[in-house]
Every structure is written in structure tokens, then in C-alpha cells.
Amino acid sequence: MFLVSSPKPIDPALQEFAQQIEKQSPAGISVLAGRQFRYCLEQISVEVTISEPRKFNILEEFILRAGMEIELIPPTENELAQALGLDPVFVQNTAMTLRSLETLAVTPDARIILTPQGRQFYLEGSVPQPPQTKQIYAISDPLQGNLFFLSSALEEIQIELPIFEDLIAIENRCQEISELGLEELQRIIQASGLGLHVPEDGKIITAANFTKETQAIWQSVAIFVIFDALEDAIKLQVRRGKQILHYASDLLDILQNEGKVSLQNLLHLSDETIAAEREELFDRRNQEVEARIQKIEQQAIETVKELREAGTQVASKGDREKDQVILLRDSQIRQSFLETLRGGNREILIYSPWVSKEVVDNEFIELLQKLVNRGLWILIGHGISRRQEDETRPIPPQVEQKLREIKTREGLSAVQVFWLGNSHAKEVVVDRKIHLCGSHNWLSYRGDKLPRGETVYKVATADRVEEAYEFLAVRFKDYARELWESAVQNRDANLAETSLCTWGALGMEEMALNQLQLANWLELYPVWLKVVCQGLRSKKISPDSAYLVTAISMVSQFSVDDFNLESLRSNLCQLIGAIAALDRRQALKLLNEQIWLHFRRLGIADSVLVKPDDFLLKYAVKEPDRPQKTSGKKAYNKKNKGIAGGKRQEAEEQ
């Protein structure tokens, strides 16, 4: 019995917004429902007192300097005036001002003696100003779960929408403003970005007074129900305009998973609508894969017809493989698979519903390690069920561990293995140039040794290969993005490293750098440098990439006290050396005068290395060239020996 899809309960005002969410989101995302609500903020006015220094004038500087430098017998005001050739009134009035600011001590004979505070201000080149007051506004937001300050008040607006709190009780986790100490208030005001409390500039909030009455301010929000086909999960998302309220969204997800939120009551969304949309999305995605494979099959048939008409003797193997689709059967498949992997130079993407130890054996691991040593990244997706816990043939833990232990020369896991699930696809894409697809399970066998009538298409047609790459890449990108969000939320460095490596495999180093900066996660900067070293090794990354300038300039943000300074030093040396090996002039551009000063400051360049040229001479190490193919009789013998060995290996693996 087929489910009949019913109209999605989305408010008319949110229809266009829901379409934008689906369009801008990764594949497999669908908005099932959307409804607007209003909720209440609490606003209270606050009068803060601000102390801020100013630079002292010339006469103040002379007076303070006299107090600093003539400590044994400090001069009187009149003595200082006589020494400076000034009317004593000027010195007396200025000294009176400095005493009122508590920078000069009060003495019976009016001698120039600095207070401890005065000494500090003299060293800083400033004196305090009379305090000033400013009116700001504290906002308590229960849906954000936070307290913040604004320089101007929010206006009261009449909003005719259902009240959110009438349907769901949200505990206001914002601390009462009256209970906050001065230090906590200073921190919150500073985080609000008003520029009123800037300790490094000497601008300090010294007091705060609150009005007794709070004001209710209504705000509108939209709640969307989003179905993620990749995770086979329902998520609730709260938005205020284009801004996602993450705290509220996470809270609603928790309540919904605990059964404390009814999607029917809150958003008029029935279980039947959810089930129908879920099936439709799964069918749509599988149909896209099938449509791609059908195009490839049709092209293969056309190729065979063309060869028959022209005569197989006329078309050479090179002509057939160039921009064509080749049909492979049974014993040809494994041999072509391994040859295609060995020919990789940049990245390999594999999707195999199952992964078994019979295929991922020591010999296969050694092959992948050799590829990684040349600079390749390898991404492996697996899973056929819609939920990971429903997999009847999960990947053996020891196999997954072996794959993850394949490292780059910098010690990063070069093979990332993810359960992506819900796919019968059996595809391999190498360097975005070759695509293998068909009925063959690339990384698993059931143990049978006889031909099973399997067929595989080896595709070199640019647009077909690109379609396959984009389909697989999107799934890996989505998974890496989810890992990163979880890593940032929990400050989990291991998850973050996995995301960075996956983005590196997909050529997204610049985006990874941006995410690292947005998360203010400098501890991961050395990991990012390692990712780039692997990309340079395979020439996947160009040494003149613009983002490398930004990346190298980040060295200015480190201090000699950072705990990961040794890792930073080592990885920057390797990175600059790798760039210099490819383009010495570009490496010298990166090591400009300012960057070189930071390299010396942090000990990245030791004292023996006087100038950037010395640094490059030490660290620019050429990568060994790949071995050239043997020609002539040796090549023939080697080829036939390899084919025979490949057949023996295939028989053993099957």
C-alpha cells in the first residue's frame, strides 16, 4: 500500500523561505513544516559608570617625570616652576588636577611625589579622566538562553501571532541581572561589543545601576521541521529572520526526541505526512543514481556499436579509452580496479555497501599506503541500510582500524572511512578523471571463486565522471560538516581533525581555514598545515594559492608561551619547504619582512638562519619522482607477470 502525500503545513509567509532553505542546503534536505510564533524578551535599562584614561599633556608629563626621576629629595611645585621658567600658578593648578586624579600624593610642603597609581599611569603615558556615565539596555532572551546588552532600546511592536510559550514551556536560563556581580557584568558587556569595557585600552566599567522595572518586548520567530534523508532524521530549526537560533533549535530537538513536543500540536504535522515525504526523498535519491547509471549504460552500448561498425582493428586501446565508456566483465573488473587505483595522483572516492577483511587485506592496505605516500587522499563510504544500527553486515572494527592507520608523512589519517548508509551504489572516482560503476562490490566478497556474471563500466567521459564525483563528494561534504559542527560545539579536536582531512581530500582547504578562523580554534592550525603539505605533495594545491598568504600571516597570532608551539614550528618549516620545492620565488614572497620577524620571534627560524634564503636552503626538499614505466622487453615481461599475478590474487580474494 502506497502512502499518499498530503500538503505540507507551511505558513504562507514562510513558503518562499522554506524553498530557500531546501535550495541552499545539501542534497537530501526537505522542509516538512513551518509556522510563525511570538515570544517575549525582557528589557531593562542600565546606567554604567566608565573610567577611561587620556594621554597627559606636556606640563603633566614634566611634573610626573620629576616625581619619577628625582625621588631622593623631590622638588616642590615652586622649585619645579622655577626650573622650568614658568609662572608657579601653572604648575600649582596642574599639580592640583593630578592630585584630584590620585596620581600625586598630598604633602604639607607641596612636594612632587607620585602615588603607585601615578607611577603606573606615567609608564603607560596617560592619566585618568573624570568618570562618565552611559545608558545601555540589558536584554534577557529565553530562546537564546543568554543575556546581552544593546546601546539603544528595542522598540515595542504589536505582533499578532500564537504565543510560543503557550505551547511549550521554555525555562529561562538567563541569570537574574540583579544577581550579577560587577566582574560578570563587565564580561557580558564586553562580549556584547559596545566598546564600553576595553581593559587593554584602560577603559573600565566601574559601576552599574539598574532600573527596577523590566519591559516586555515581543519578537517573532519561525520554527521549521527539516527532514535529513542522509541521517534519516527529523530536526527542528528555530529562526529569527535569517539567523538560526541554535540554542532553541537544540532544545526543541531534545524535547522532541524525549516525546515532550508534539509535532501535530505545535506545527500541525502528522506522522503520515512525515512518512510519505521520507519515502519520496529516498526514492528520488535512488532514482538519481539509477538515471546516471542508465546514461552510462546507454553510452557503453553506443560505443560498442561504433566499434563494430568501424571494425575493432581500426580503434586502438588508447582511442577507445579516451572520452569513452568501457564494459568490463568478471575477471577484468578486479584487475582494472587495482590498475585505476595505482594510476591515482590526487584523491580516490569509493562507495561500497559493504567492506570485508577478505578484500581489505594486508596487500590492499600496502597499496593504499603507497598511494598516500605520493600525496593521495582516500575517502571510503559504506552502508546500505537506512540506519546504521540496522546494518546486517557492518564493517569489521579491525578493518576500519587498519584503514584509519594509513597515515600521511605528517601523521594524519589519509583514509577516512564513514558510514553514509542508504545506498546501493557501488562507485569509484579517481582524480575526477575515471569513474568505475556497476554491480561489483569493490571492497567485499562473499567467498565464491567462480565468475558471477558481474559487469562494471569504466567511464572517462568528463561530464559523466563529474556527475559521479559531485554525487559522492556531496555526501562526504555533508558528513564532514556535521562532524565539524559537533567538534566545535564539544571542542573535540579528534573530530575536528577528521573534518579537516576530509575537506583536504575534497580540495576544500580554503574553506577549512575559514572555518578554523570562525571557530577561533588556533590549536588546530598546525593540523591544517599538515593537510596542506599532503596537497602540495600531490600537486593538488598550487604553491601560489591566495589563501596560503592568509594562512602564513596567522603566525602573528601565536606567542612564545603557546603549548603547541613545537608542532607549529615543525609544520610551518615543512610547509614552507614544500612550497619552496615547487616554487622558490613564491616561498620567498610568503616569507616577507613582517612574517620573517615572526618566524624569528617564535624560533621557527633559528639564529643560524640569518635570512629567508638560508631558511629555504635548509627546508626545501624535493619530493622523489615517481618511477617511470619500464620499456621494451622488460615491460612486456613485467606486464604479463603482473596479469598472471593479478589473476592469482583475484582467485585468492574471491
Across the range 195-215, mean pLDDT stands at 85
Angstrom distance (rounded) from CA 324 to CA 292:
15
**Looking at the predicted structure, is the pLDDT value of residue 496 above 90?**
yes
pLDDT digits (tens, 9 = 90+) for 235-249: 899 998 888 888 888
d(CA 243, CA 149): 18
Least confident of 50-54, 80-84, 538-542: 50-54
Q: Is the pLDDT of residue 552 over 90?
A: yes
- pLDDT of 68 > 60? The answer is yes
Q: What percent of the chain stands above pLDDT 90?
A: 38
pLDDT (0 to 100) of residue 641: 43
**What is the 3-class SS of 543-587, one letter each residue?**
CCCCHHHHHHHHHHHCCCCCCCHHHHHHHHHHHHHHHHHHCHHHH
Locate the domains of the chain by residue range: 12-37+219-275, 53-128, 282-473, 507-619
Across the range 538-555, mean pLDDT stands at: 93
Per the CB < 8 A criterion, the answer to whether 101 and 128 are in contact is yes
Cell of 187: 564580561
What pLDDT is attached to residue 536?
A: 95
SS3 content of the chain, % helix, strand, coil (to 5): 50, 20, 35
Over 50: is that where the pLDDT of 449 sits? no
Q: What is the mean pLDDT of the chain?
A: 83
Q: How confident is the model at residue 56 (pLDDT cuts 50, 70, 90)?
A: confident
Smallest Cα–Cα separation from 441: which of 422, 430, 431, 455? 455
Q: What are 328-338's pLDDT values in tens digits?
A: 888 888 889 99
Q: Express each pLDDT in 122-140 by its tens digit.
A: 887 887 778 889 999 999 8
Cα→Cα distances 431→112, 343, 437, 462, 506, Å: 78, 9, 15, 11, 10
Residue 184: band (very low, low, confident or very high) from pLDDT cuts 50, 70, 90: confident
In the predicted model, is pLDDT for residue 413 greater than 50?
yes
All three cell numbers of 309: 561498425
192-230: string of b/e by CB count within 10 Å (b at 16+)?
bebebbeeeeeebbeebeeeeeeeebbbbbbbbbbbbbb
The pLDDT tens digits for 592-612 are 999 999 999 999 998 888 899
C-alpha span between 374 and 537 (Å, rounded): 7
Q: How confident is the model at residue 262 (pLDDT cuts 50, 70, 90)?
A: confident
In whole angstroms, how far apart are CA 85 and each of 74, 78, 79, 89, 277? 18, 10, 10, 12, 91
d(CA 411, CA 404): 11
The model's confidence at residue 452, banded by pLDDT at 50, 70 and 90, is low
Gap between the Cα atoms of 576 and 619, Å rounded: 7
**What CATH architecture is 282-473?**
2-Layer Sandwich (3.30)
Binning pLDDT at 50, 70 and 90, where does residue 295 land?
low
Q: How far apart are CA 367 and CA 554, in angstroms?
A: 37
**Integer angstrom CA distances of residue 304 from 297, 336, 403, 605, 645:** 11, 19, 38, 61, 29
On whether the CB atoms of residues 413 and 407 are closer than 8 A, the answer is: yes
CATH of the structural domain 53-128, one choice from 1.10.10.10, 3.30.1340.10, 3.30.950.10, 3.40.50.970? 1.10.10.10
**Exposed e or buried b for every residue in 142-160, given b needs 16+ CB within 10 A?**
bbbbebbbeeeeeeeeeee
Say which range, 72-86, 416-430, 613-627, has the weakest mean pLDDT: 613-627
Is the pLDDT at 227 greater than 60, yes or no?
A: yes
Q: Please, how many CA atoms are within 13 Å of residue 124, restricted to the half-sphere of its CB? A: 17
Span 214-227, average pLDDT: 90
Q: CA–CA separation, 141 vs 436, rounded Å?
A: 53
For residue 5, the model assigns a pLDDT of 44
Residue 84 has pLDDT above 50, yes or no: yes
| 289: Cα separation from own chain's centroid | 29
Question: What is residue 304's predicted lDDT score, i.e. its pLDDT?
Answer: 54
Residue 320 binned pLDDT confidence (cut-offs 50, 70, 90): very low
Instruction: Render pLDDT for 368-410 as a digit per residue (tens, 0 to 9).
Output: 999 999 999 999 999 988 778 888 889 999 999 999 999 999 9
Compute φ and ψ for 323, nearest 5 degrees. Answer: 55, 40
Q: How far apart are CA 586 and CA 290, in angstroms?
A: 46
Report which DSSP code applies to 454: -
Predicted pLDDT of residue 174 = 57
Tracing cell 592640583 back to the chain, one arrives at 96
For the ranges 215-224, 416-425, 465-474, 528-537, the one whose mean pLDDT is highest: 528-537
Distances (CA, A) of 350 to 337, 603, 650: 11, 42, 19
Kindly report the pTM of this predicted structure: 0.56
Q: Any bridge partners for residue 150, and if so which? A: 137
Distance CA 49, CA 130 (A): 10
The predicted structure's pLDDT at residue 286: 59
Q: Is the pLDDT of residue 47 over 70?
A: yes
Distance in Å from the first CA to the final CA of the chain: 40
More confident residue, 157 or 504: 504
Distances in whole angstroms, Cα of residue 486 to Cα of each of 145, 223, 251, 291, 598: 19, 22, 15, 34, 33
* Alpha-helical segments (H) within 70-206: 77-84, 88-100, 116-124, 164-167, 182-191
CB-based burial label for 524 (10 Å; 0-12, 13-18, 19+): buried
The pLDDT of residue 523 is above 60: yes
Please state the rounded mean pLDDT for residues 509-513: 95
**Contact assessment for residue 604 and residue 568, using Cβ atoms and an 8 Å cutoff:** yes
The CA radius of gyration of the chain, in Å to the nearest whole number, is 34
Quick one: pLDDT at residue 584? 93
Q: Would you state the pLDDT for residue 339?
A: 94
Q: Are 136 and 151 in contact (CB under 8 A)?
A: yes
Instruction: State how far the alpha carbon of 259 is from the alpha carbons of 94, 246, 263, in Å.
Output: 72, 20, 10
- Lowest mean pLDDT of 162-166, 452-456, 532-536, 601-605, name the range: 452-456
What pLDDT score does 134 carry? Answer: 93
Nearest to 255 by CA among 185, 339, 168: 168
Q: Given a cut of 50, is residue 80 above it in pLDDT?
A: yes
Cα separation of 76 and 81, whole Å? Answer: 9
Picking from 554, 546, 618, the residue whose alpha carbon sits closest to that of residue 581 is 618
What is the structure's pLDDT at 632? 42
Q: Name the range with the highest mean pLDDT among 101-105, 472-476, 500-504.
A: 500-504
CA distance 533 to 538: 9
Quick one: pLDDT at residue 157? 86
Q: What is the pLDDT, as a whole number, of residue 648? A: 39
